[in-house]
Amino acid sequence: MSGRGDGPEDASPGPGTPPAPPARRRGRPARAAAGAGPGARERILAAARTEFAARGYDKTSVRGIAKAAGVDAALVHHYFGTKEQVFEAAIELTFAPALTMPEAIAGGGEGVGERMARFMFGVWENPVTRQPLLAIMRSALTNDTAAAVLRGLIERRMLQRVAGELHVPDPEFRVQLAAGHLIGIAMLRYVIKMDPVASADPEEIIAMVAPTLQRYLTQP
């Protein structure tokens, strides 16, 4: 009769048995993970932009991004972390043209309202930059996490920098009012497509809103 410890589940490896491979550390993809190598991060980011634009935040998954990029999902986590962090990286790249606004309107003073309006409508009127921005706005309107990520990016990279150039009381409040004015018009024109705003000439809109933005940004 066999004694205890003779069963297969209790058998110890013999002298010639190779040791078991070490457990993989969580969050670190194996070197042989599918798609790993030069350019993997860039492919993931490009796929994330496309997936978020096509599906929105809610319907996009890390697994779907990985599949579109031709990599393991572990690589997505390795480079970017959570889905929220992937989204932030993707929209920062998409939002890059708009994030140059502080430089475009630098100097404040006379004409700053017109420069701000002209810059923002220039970004929105360009089909190449408009479509990704529309996708981001739709995600932000339907998902709290996406809204928080977008809000943080706009505040940190755009509005705070513009406010720092102003010499008026409550500059951050003034800049938010100006931004809200432009975002509201963008919603009517590009998202809801409500006439007559949707079909108006951009120059006509700029001429109408520039004095209001000027008052927000410069009058005591």
The pLDDT of residue 36 is 56
Topology of the domain covering 98-218:
Tetracycline Repressor; domain 2 (1.10.357)
The pLDDT of residue 3 is 45
DSSP state of 109: S
- CATH 1.10.357.10 maps onto the chain at 98-218
Report the alpha-carbon distance of residue 161 to residue 172 in Å, rounded. 9
Report the alpha-carbon distance of residue 16 to residue 21 in Å, rounded. 15
**For residue 12, what is the enclosing H or E element?**
none
Report the alpha-carbon distance of residue 191 to residue 202 in Å, rounded. 16
| Single-letter amino acid, residue 164 | G
Taking residues 192-220, report their average pLDDT: 94
Q: Does residue 2 have a pLDDT over 50?
A: no
Tens-place pLDDT, residues 165-193: 888 899 999 999 999 999 999 999 998 89
Q: Does residue 27 have a pLDDT over 90?
A: no
- CATH 1.10.10.60 maps onto the chain at 28-81
The pLDDT of residue 5 is 45
Tens-place pLDDT, residues 75-128: 999 998 888 888 888 888 777 777 777 777 777 678 889 999 998 898 899 888
Tens-place pLDDT, residues 131-160: 778 888 888 888 888 888 888 888 887 888
Q: Does residue 65 have a pLDDT over 90?
A: yes
pTM of the predicted protein model = 0.68
**Confidence tier at 32 by pLDDT (50, 70, 90):** very low
Q: Which CATH architecture has domain 28-81?
A: Orthogonal Bundle (1.10)
